Chains A and B, each alone.
Chain A
């Protein structure tokens, strides 16, 4: 039996299609339209051409937030090194290893808001345990949350903490499909553990590493909640593009300007999505 030739199939898909049209595609078309209008809640708006875009490009703060969002991608190599190392150490499914895997996964399931609350307390400048530990080492207090760009580093610390267990699991899945023979023959050739990792495991894992790079950087560019909780009092120039978009829309009601920023963010994340697709195609081909 091949596929059932029946338009009843459409009835099954219909509810999902309605939801996606109403709450994904139509809103998407609308932000593109709003981005060319001076629309807000009081005013139906007129078309004003590219004014929102030119205002945006002249806005120093917009560029700062865009730059910060790109800077968050710097956390990605760190996260890859940590999670890949842990995955290599925990490959064997022993009881100890699966216990540790679960431990590393705790931060992943923690809601971002709660993770932010915890770390804001740890990094608190006057009472935080981090500065206390530094003082034991004879170091000065660090302004983890207010000094730019140290506070970007703190936000990255939070994303690394919440992310490494997740990417470790992805690497563990990737490690399962490396043919055992490759490593066994290297072992017979007398290659030590480090050689085997560099010569065999890393090249074999290349597609997984690229995949992790793409998903963690496209998450980094959309960062919002971490910043909202961790460094709320700092100037907008210390924050991210989504923080900017949020302020313009919901504090200043500049829907047009905010939509223009949204369109730019979409184009950037589309770039990442295409990297992702190209990677997946490559993986299917091989």
Chain B
């Protein structure tokens, strides 16, 4: 194979996969702007003849789409904050203290990673019913307020901080809790940010658990709501497309704004 053909082949492959990655988004965007007569046009139009923004207002008028968005936002924000708080406390405790049962607790945390969410949904649902939290945002949030992986990551972050920093603080008479908050936590900022981004994107896309817990439409998250719209508006895909575009924007913005942290987090996730 000649040098030029190799390079052309490589370029072709790279562009082909770029097209595969991006085209479905463009197709979604284009569909969300089409008029009703254009939707089922055959051959399909790549670019809408006129831009119809009424699909977007249609999504808001036909279902409580604004509620979906707010619910998703509340669930994601609270889940991110609880995860950061609880896992950074636990990570610090595990990284810096020696106490009875520490090894066992660490082992339990690692073992919790091996229990798939998908199989414990039945007892979780029974608990949520008994706690009277069915069909509530709190019921969606509570069981996943902390994940074993987040604790593991925070422990690693605290382990990498030099111990001299705490020694100085201890000599100054700084209490442990104050030290965690004022001295140690700020030093794990890169890990906290990475964890926040990953938890945000993961929770934003969560489907199975919110689908089970949430029953009334005004409590739906975006993903549950979109799935409901997909089932209901079989012949009005334009609204579903418009809703999907809106639901994708927050993660897209977050992703574009945090390129560096993304790569960092991935490499941590791959066990490096």
Contact = CB atoms under 8 A, between A and B. Distances in A.
B116 A266 contact: yes
Interface size class of A (residues with CB under 8 A): 35 or more
Interface in A156-175: 161, 164-166, 169-170, 173-174
Given A105-B262, A224-B118, A193 B6 contact: yes
Given A82-B17, A111-B204, A258 B122 contact: yes
B17 A164 contact: yes
Interface in A68-90: 82, 85-86, 89-90
Nearest to A226: B207
A11 interface: yes
Interface in A9-55: 9-13, 15-17, 19-20, 22-28, 30-31, 34, 41
A228 to B, nearest CB: 7
B22 A118 contact: no
Nearest to B72: A111
B230 A1 contact: no
Interface string B122-155: 1111110100000000000011111010010000
Contact of A4 (B43, B97, B116, B227): B97
Interface stretch (A57-65, A144-152, A181-189, A242-250): A242-250
| Across the A-B interface, the 10 shortest Cβ-Cβ residue pairs | A9-B97, A12-B93, A111-B205, A16-B90, A262-B119, A27-B123, A3-B98, A30-B123, A27-B120, A13-B93
23 contacts: A3-B98, A6-B176, A7-B99, A9-B99, A12-B176, A19-B145, A24-B120, A25-B108, A27-B127, A30-B123, A89-B14, A113-B227, A114-B244, A132-B42, A161-B24, A169-B263, A211-B270, A211-B271, A222-B116, A225-B207, A228-B211, A242-B118, A259-B122
Given A119-B24, A120-B230, A250-B212, 10 more contacts: A7-B99, A12-B176, A23-B142, A28-B120, A86-B14, A102-B256, A110-B251, A114-B247, A117-B240, A174-B270
